[in-house]
Structure 1
Amino acid sequence: MPPRIRLSVSQLQAPLRQHEVRVLRQYASAAATATITSSKSPINQSSIPRARSSVNTQPPSHRRPEFRKSQLHRQYTSLLRTAPLILFFQHSNLQSIEWAAIRRELSRALEKVDQDNAAAGRPEPPLASIAKLQIIQTSIFEAALRVVDYFRPENVKPSKNGTRIDPNVTHDLSSTAYWSVLDKRGKHELSSLLLGPVAVLAFPRVSPEHLKAALSILAPSPPAFPAPTRRANPGYHDLTTKAGLQKLMLLAARVEGKVFDLDETKWVGGIQGGMTGLRSQLVGMLQGVGAGVTSALEGAGKSLYLTMESRRSVLEEEKGESGEGKEEKA
C-alpha cells in the first residue's frame, strides 16, 4: 500500500493562487447568469420533443414473429409458393468444405446450361444464380407444407374444437392457420421423407435442362444422367467433392405442388428440348388426335357410301332381271 501524504495545517490554509481565483469567478458568473435567465424566461415544456410512442402494427400471431422458428416458417412458406420445382436430398454428416465443393460443381453445371440456352437463342432467363441448395429444419418445413397445401382462409370456420380462431387474421403465423392444419400433422405425402437431415434444391421455374444438369451432378445415373468426365470437369472428381456426393441421396421431388418419386423426377429431367420440346410434343399429339378423329369420320362416311352404292347396284340388277322376266312371259 503506498504511503499517505501528510498535509500540514499551513498547507491547508494556504491562499488560493491567481489562476484558481479566476476560474472560480468564471464559474460563479455563469451560475448567476443561468439563474437569472431561468427566472425570467421559464422553459416551455411543450416545446421539448418527446420520444414517439412505439405502435405495434404486427398482427396477432400464434408464435412471436421475432423468433428464429417463426422466421424460418415464413421463409419456407415463401419458398414453397415461389419454387415450382424442389428436389429433396438426404445428407449425412457433410462437412462445410464438402458443401462448398458440391455447390461449386452444381453452379458450374447450371451455368453451362444457361450458356447453351443463350447460344441457342432461347428467351428463358438464367437460373444458375437463383437456384439454391440449402439445409432445412424438417419439423418447421413440414408445418410450412401443411399451411401451404391445406390451409384455405376462405374455408375457415369461426370456432373449431373449442380453440380460438379469428377468421379476420389468416396469415401464415396466425393461430387460425395453426389450428386449421393441426389435424393434418404427419399426413402429408412428404411427411415420411422429412426425417433426419434433409436438404432441398429449389428452382424458380420448371426447367428439364437444369434438372438434368443437377441430377447429373448430385445423383448421376447413366446413361440418362451421366456424371461429367474427368477431362470435361476435373473438379468434380476431387476427393472432397466425391466424398460429399457419396453422402447425398435423392429422395423425391415436388413439381407444381405434386410429389414425384425418383422415376417420375427422372422422366421430367429426360424431356428432350425442355419445356419448348414438351409443348411441341403436346401440339403434335393433339394434331395426331385430330387427324385420327378426321380419318375415323371419313372412314365411316366412305364405308357408308360404299355400302349404299353396292346396295343400289344390287337393286338395279334385281330390277333389271325382273323386267326381263316379264317381257319373256309376254
Structure 2
Amino acid sequence: MPPRIRLANARVPVRCQRLLCQSDIPTLVRYASTVTTPAPSIEQMTTSPVPIARFPPSQPPSHRRPEYRRSQLLRQYTSIIRTTPLMVFLQHDNLKSVEWTAIRRELSKAMQKVDAKIAAEGRSAPALAPHIKVQIIQPGIFDVALRIVDYFRPSQETLEMGKPPSANDPATQTSAEISLAGSKDDPTLTHDLSRAAQAAVRHKKGKHELSTLLAGPIAALTIPHMSPEHLKAALTVLAPKAFGYPAPTRKANPDWHELSVQNGLNKLSVLAARLDNQLFDVDQTKWVGSIEGGMDGLRSQLVMALQSMGSSITSTLEGAGKSLYVTLESRRSVLEDEQKGTSGEAKGEDKAE
C-alpha cells in the first residue's frame, strides 16, 4: 500500500492567516465606502409593485389542465374548425385498423389524382392531397370546440394586448385586479382553455346545430381548402352509392375493390357536411361536389351570370328608349302630315277665291 500523504505540512499557519486578514481590511473598507445603495425614488415608494406572474407567458393559466389528453384534443379541434372550411362527418361502426389503413390509402390516391389533374390544366392551386385526412374524433370534446369557436366572442378590451386598460398601469389597478392577475379567474385570459371561454359556452350545451349528429362513433374528413373537385373525389371513394357517383371500375382502380376496403366502406355512412360554417345535408353536399371546374369554374359562372344580367338590363333600358323614340317619331310624322294637309287646303281655298 502506498504511504499516505499527511496534510499537516500543507496547512497555513495561524499567524499568516491573521496577516492576510489584516491586509484585506483596508481594501474592503475602501470598496464599501465607494459603493453605496441609492435611495428609492418617490414614485417607487408611492406606486404598488407590478404583480409577479405565476405562469410563463408561453403557458397561461387554464381552466383545464393543458397536459391532459382532453385539453390537447380540445385545442386540436378548435384549430381544425377555424382553419378547415370543408368538413364531412361520417359514422363508423367498429372499423379495424387494416380497414382504416386501406381506406386512407385509397383516399390519398384519389386526392393525388385530382392534384395532378389540376396541375395538368395549368391552374394555380395548392396541392391538397398531403393535408386531406379522415380521422376519428371524440364527439363530446368536438361539441365543446364547436361551441367555443362559434359562440365565444371576447370583448375588444380584453383582446387589446391581452390585458384590460387598467392592467397597463399598476397605479390604477385595484387590489382585486392585482390578486386576479396571473390566475385562472383572470378575465383577460381568452384562450380556448380559459375559464372565460368555458363559462361563455356552458349554457349553449346541446344547442349547436351539429349537437344532434355528434353522437356515437364519429369520423371527420377535413379538406383545408374549398375545393369541390376534391370533395367529389373523396365522396366517390368513401360513399359513391349515397351520392349517386359512379364507383371506380375494377380495371381503373383494382385496389378499391379489395376486401379490406369494401368491408370498411360498408361500415361507413355520411351524416352531413360543414361548409363555411354552414350545415349541409347529403343533397346539398352533392350539389357542391357537382360544380364543374372547382372554385374557378364557379367564379366563371358567376362572371357570366353578372355579364348576362348586365346585358339584359342594358337591352331592357335600350328597348324602352327605342320604343319611346319610335313613338315620338311616328307622332311627329303624323303632326307633319296634318300640318301639310291643312296648309294644302288653305292654298286651295285661296286659289278658289
State the partner residue of 1:114: 115
CA distance in 2, matches of 1:288, 1:223: 32
State the partner residue of 2:276: 256
Q: Aligned ranges for residues 138-153 of structure 1 at < 5 Å?
A: 138-153=139-154
Shift of 1:204: 1.2
Structure 1 SS opposite 2:234: helix
Shift of 1:218: 0.4
CA distance in 2, matches of 1:73, 1:206: 24
TM-score, normalization: structure 2?
0.75
CA distance in 2, matches of 1:312, 1:222: 68
Write the letter of the residue equivalent to 1:56.
F
Identity of aligned residues (%): 56
Contact 2:235/2:243 (8 A) holds in 1: no
1:182 and 2:181 matched = no
Q: Pick from 315, 329, 333: which aligns with 1:313?
A: 333
1:274 and 2:294 matched = yes
Write the letter of the residue equivalent to 1:256.
D
Write the letter of the residue equivalent to 1:263.
D
Contact 1:224/1:270 (8 A) holds in 2: no
Shift of 1:231: 0.8
Write the letter of the residue equivalent to 1:249.
S
Structure 2 SS opposite 1:153: coil
TM-score, normalization: structure 1?
0.80
Q: Aligned ranges for residues 226-237 of structure 1 at < 5 Å?
A: 226-237=246-257
Compared CA separation, residues 322 and 222, structure 1 to 2 (3 A): farther
Shift of 1:121: 2.0
Shift of 1:166: 4.4
Structure 1 SS opposite 2:273: strand
CA distance in 2, matches of 1:70, 1:223: 36
Structure 2 SS opposite 1:186: coil
Write the letter of the residue equivalent to 1:126.
A
CA distance in 2, matches of 1:92, 1:326: 103
Segments of 5+ residues of structure 2 without an aligned counterpart are: 18-52, 159-163, 165-183
Compared CA separation, residues 222 and 151, structure 1 to 2 (3 A): closer
Write the letter of the residue equivalent to 1:117.
I
CA distance in 1, matches of 2:139, 2:243: 33
CA distance in 1, matches of 2:301, 2:284: 18
What are the superposed Cα offsets for residues 249-281 of structure 1, whole Å, 9 maximum, x if unpaired? Answer: 111111122111111111111111111111111
Compared CA separation, residues 275 and 108, structure 1 to 2 (3 A): same
State the partner residue of 2:62: 61
State the partner residue of 1:82: 83
Structure 1 SS opposite 2:316: helix
Q: Pick from 227, 237, 240: which aligns with 1:220?
A: 240
CA distance in 1, matches of 2:185, 2:316: 59
Write the letter of the residue equivalent to 1:90.
Q
Segments of 5+ residues of structure 1 without an aligned counterpart are: 1-18, 41-53, 159-163
Shift of 1:242: 0.4
State the partner residue of 1:161: none
Aligned residues: 286
Structure 2 SS opposite 1:134: strand
State the partner residue of 1:134: 135
CA distance in 2, matches of 1:221, 1:281: 28
Shift of 1:62: 1.4
Contact 1:156/1:167 (8 A) holds in 2: no
What are the superposed Cα offsets for residues 63-119 of structure 1, whole Å, 9 maximum, x if unpaired? Answer: 111111110000000001111111110111111111111101111111111121222
Compared CA separation, residues 198 and 60, structure 1 to 2 (3 A): same
CA distance in 1, matches of 2:55, 2:207: 36
What are the superposed Cα offsets for residues 15-67 of structure 1, whole Å, 9 maximum, x if unpaired? Answer: xxxx4xx4xx54xx48x58x959x98xxxxxxxxxxxxx96312221111111
Deviates more, 1:103-112 or 1:319-328: 319-328
Contact 1:156/1:180 (8 A) holds in 2: no
Q: Pick from 324, 328, 353: which aligns with 1:304?
A: 324
Compared CA separation, residues 222 and 327, structure 1 to 2 (3 A): farther
Write the letter of the residue equivalent to 2:78.
T
Structure 1 SS opposite 2:118: helix
Contact 2:62/2:194 (8 A) holds in 1: yes
Shift of 1:318: 2.7
Compared CA separation, residues 56 and 155, structure 1 to 2 (3 A): closer
1:93 and 2:94 matched = yes
State the partner residue of 1:48: none
Structure 2 SS opposite 1:191: coil
Shift of 1:233: 0.9
Q: Pick from 267, 271, 277: which aligns with 1:247?
A: 267
State the partner residue of 1:169: 189
Write the letter of the residue equivalent to 1:221.
K
Aligned-CA RMSD value: 2.6
Contact 1:153/1:167 (8 A) holds in 2: no
Write the letter of the residue equivalent to 1:73.
L
CA distance in 2, matches of 1:221, 1:301: 55
